[in-house]
């Protein structure tokens, strides 16, 4: 699939996730974290595809590692998004620490996600960058 498809999907998820910062608490932190995980993955995939980089893995941690290898100016706040993987209840035989983040941690993660969104939009091909 094309990078702009993932970018549009990421924007849709981001509008829901960022709404939780504006007082819309329709969802609890666990569901918001799941939406944030999908959103983060979509932004990372759209960036990598826009640079013709083959996707290797789908965890946030692995996608961020790929991004770090190919980006010279990765904002440090984006690395905070690795914490999402640590909190997710992924398909695993071994139990993981999937405690639900508190509101202040969610706010920090959402802020980091906003920085990722800005980074993607300022670094992708201008043909994809229809929305700013």
Identify whether 118 is part of a domain: yes
Global pTM reads: 0.85
Identify whether 131 is part of a domain: no
Mean pLDDT per block of 10 residues along the chain (132 residues) reads 88 91 74 92 93 88 88 81 77 62 90 95 71 46
Identify whether 74 is part of a domain: yes
pLDDT of residue 72: 65
Whole-angstrom distance, CA of residue 57 vs CA of residue 10 = 18
Identify whether 128 is part of a domain: no
Identify whether 51 is part of a domain: yes
Q: How many domains does the chain have?
A: 1
pLDDT of residue 109: 93
Identify whether 132 is part of a domain: no
pLDDT of residue 132: 41
pLDDT of residue 7: 95
* Structural domain boundaries, residue 26: 3-123
Are 96 and 86 spatial neighbours (Cβ–Cβ below 8 Å)?
yes
CATH code of residue 14: 1.20.120.330
pLDDT digits (tens, 9 = 90+) for 20-40: 766 666 788 888 999 999 999
Are 60 and 37 spatial neighbours (Cβ–Cβ below 8 Å)?
yes
Residue 36 in tokens: 């944030």
């Amino acid at each position: 699939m094309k990078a702009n498809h993932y970018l549009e999907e990421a924007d849709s998820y981001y509008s829901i996730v960022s709404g939780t910062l504006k007082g819309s608490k329709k969802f609890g932190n666990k569901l918001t974290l799941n939406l944030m995980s999908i959103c983060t993955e979509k932004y990372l995939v759209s960036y990598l595809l826009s640079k013709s980089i083959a996707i290797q893995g789908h965890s946030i941690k692995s996608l961020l590692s790929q991004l770090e290898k190919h980006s010279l100016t990765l904002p440090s706040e984006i690395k905070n998004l690795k914490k999402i993987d640590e909190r997710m209840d992924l398909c695993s035989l071994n139990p993981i620490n999937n405690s639900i983040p508190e509101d202040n941690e969610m706010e920090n993660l959402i802020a980091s996600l906003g920085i990722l969104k800005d980074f993607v939009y300022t670094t992708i091909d201008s043909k994809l960058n229809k929305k700013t």
